[in-house]
């Protein structure tokens, strides 16, 4: 398909989303689920259930663990600890990204500290065993005294890894391979429209956040925007207005911007829909790509902690191009400050208050309204993955 045809098709799709959002705006409505949904509070607090969900969902499904743009050149690597699992993502000499457990095959020492860098080899700080960018064992200190060893059987333990749509996807369980085409389905084309590999990474940071489901709930609805985000994103978006498209467990949320009503005074041929709606792409179970405002974008990863009451959120602040002028730098810094305030000081402040009261007995169950269809869809898929065989 030619670029012109692709752009035309995307423009038509965005026009359709703007049309749907405008209809809701005019009628004070929103996309809705058939009925409210009830979930026992135990689904948020039970330790046994939480351990099983972490294992079944986060250890068995592909997770987008990094942006392609974090590893632009051969030898670039990113070491990180994901749910107590130490890993290394590395771009090899052929340009592919591989993922290994960050543990020497001799006695298990970590090869490098968490962070991003570049290296020709990975050398164990304990006994100087060395590995190349493909994870192969290539050297042993004092090999002549160590004894016979088949190097080919002692490379780093590899995790399934694929690169797609500007993201690097990993399965945290060795030898448990996944079909990324099947997993993403039509949602892959949606992710492709974001061209994530072409953005500039301005900064990344880690936030401590409430429990997994409390945290994720806040990423999946606009019901709270007017009350919670009045000083930040709520100044730009219409509260309790959502256009939802689902792709199995993955979802595209469309919010209306406060300028949405301006479209009533324009001929459709003159519409520029991107100026009046805001898209959030939510990839199950823990990735949110949102906050696209002008030339800026927020990517968030939510990782459950060892207990049900905490998670770790990784935020990436992206700019369409490296900010160079004083005006561009100020715009990027302002966007970064705004989304930090919206998430940390507004969303997570409420989330931590929920976390503090969740065991008080005030609620035996939580309700998700008809106007929270994305939250309902998310929890329905959690239950589905916990009950199905594959």
Which residues 6+ apart lie within 8 Å of 301 measured at CB?
64, 65, 286, 287, 313, 314
Using an 8 Å Cβ cutoff, are 159 and 170 in contact?
yes
pLDDT score of 388: 76
Region(s) of the chain under CATH 2.102.10.10: 70-177
| pLDDT band of 4, cuts 50, 70, 90 | low
Query: What's the residue count for the chain?
Result: 390
Q: How far apart are CA 153 and CA 116, in angstroms?
A: 28
**pTM > 0.85: yes or no:** yes
What proportions of the chain, in percent to the nearest 5, are helix, strand and coil?
35, 30, 35
- Count of beta carbons in the 10 Å neighbourhood of residue 283: 24
Radius of gyration of the chain (CA): 23
**pLDDT (0 to 100) of residue 3:** 53
Q: In the predicted model, is pLDDT for residue 358 greater than 80?
A: yes
Structure token pair of residue 116? 């991003």
Q: What is the pLDDT of residues 160-208, one digit of tens each?
A: 999 999 999 999 999 999 999 999 999 999 999 999 999 999 999 999 9
Q: Span 3-59+183-387: which CATH code? A: 3.90.380.10
2, pLDDT greater than 50: no
Q: According to CATH, where is 3.90.380.10 located in the chain?
A: 3-59+183-387
- On the question of a cis peptide bond just before residue 285, with omega within 30 degrees of 0, the verdict is yes
| Residue 199 structure tokens | 């953005």
Residues of the chain above pLDDT 90, percent: 92
What would the pLDDT profile of 328-357 be if each residue is shown by its tens digit? 999 999 999 999 999 999 999 999 999 999
Q: 34-44: per-residue pLDDT in tens?
A: 999 999 999 99
d(CA 137, CA 66): 25
Q: How far apart are CA 358 and CA 203, in angstroms?
A: 33
- Write down the pLDDT at residue 317: 97
What is the pLDDT averaged over residues 64-87? 97
Region 280-302: mean pLDDT is: 91
> How does residue 1 score in pLDDT terms, banded at 50, 70 and 90?
very low
CATH class of 70-177: mainly beta
Per residue, the 3-state secondary structure of 255-317, as one string, reads EEECCHHHHHHCCHHHCCHHHCEEEEEEECCCEEEEEEECCEEEEEEEEECCCCCCEEEEEEE
Residue % of the chain over a pLDDT of 70? 96
Task: Say how far apart CA 268 and CA 76 lie, in whole Å.
Answer: 47
Q: Report pLDDT for 389.
A: 59
Instruction: Choose among 88, 58, 86: nearest CA to 70.
Output: 88
C-alpha 266, offset from chain centre: 36
Q: Does residue 208 contact residue 129 with C-beta atoms inside 8 Å?
A: no
């Amino acid at each position: 398909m030619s670029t012109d045809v692709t752009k035309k098709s995307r423009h038509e799709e965005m026009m359709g989303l703007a049309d749907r959002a405008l209809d809701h705006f005019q009628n004070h409505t929103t996309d809705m689920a058939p009925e409210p949904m009830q979930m026992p509070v135990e689904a948020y607090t039970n330790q046994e259930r939480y351990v099983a969900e972490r294992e079944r969902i986060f250890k068995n499904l592909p997770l987008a663990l990094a942006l392609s743009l974090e590893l632009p050149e051969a030898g670039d690597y990113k070491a990180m600890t994901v749910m107590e699992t130490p890993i290394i993502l590395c771009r090899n000499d052929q340009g592919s990204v591989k993922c290994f457990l960050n543990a020497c095959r001799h006695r298990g020492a970590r090869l490098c500290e968490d962070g991003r860098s570049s290296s020709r080899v990975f050398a164990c700080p304990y006994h100087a065993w060395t590995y190349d960018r493909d994870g192969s064992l290539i050297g042993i200190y004092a090999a002549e005294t160590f004894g016979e060893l088949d190097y080919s059987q002692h490379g780093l333990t590899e995790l399934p890894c694929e690169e797609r749509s500007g993201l690097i996807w990993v399965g945290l369980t060795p030898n448990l391979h996944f079909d990324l085409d099947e997993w993403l389905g039509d949602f892959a084309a949606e992710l492709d429209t974001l061209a994530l590999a072409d953005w500039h990474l301005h900064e990344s940071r880690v936030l401590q956040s409430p429990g997994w489901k409390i945290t994720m709930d806040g990423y999946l609805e606009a019901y709270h925007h007017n009350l919670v985000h009045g000083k930040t994103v709520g100044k730009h978006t219409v509260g309790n207005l959502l256009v939802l498209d689902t792709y199995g467990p993955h979802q595209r949320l469309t919010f209306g911007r406060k300028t949405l009503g301006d479209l009533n005074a324009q001929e459709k041929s003159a519409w520029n829909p991107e100026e009046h709606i805001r898209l959030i792409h939510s990839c199950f179970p823990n990735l949110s790509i949102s906050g696209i405002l002008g030339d800026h974008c927020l990517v968030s990863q939510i990782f459950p902690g060892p207990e049900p009451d905490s998670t770790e959120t990784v935020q990436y602040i992206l700019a369409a191009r490296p900010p160079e002028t004083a005006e561009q730098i100020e715009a990027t810094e302002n966007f970064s400050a705004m989304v930090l305030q919206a998430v940390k000081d507004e969303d997570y402040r409420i989330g931590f208050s929920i976390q503090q009261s969740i065991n008080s007995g005030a609620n035996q169950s939580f309700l998700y309204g008809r106007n929270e269809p994305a939250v309902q869809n998310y929890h329905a898929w959690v239950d589905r993955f916990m009950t199905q065989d594959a």
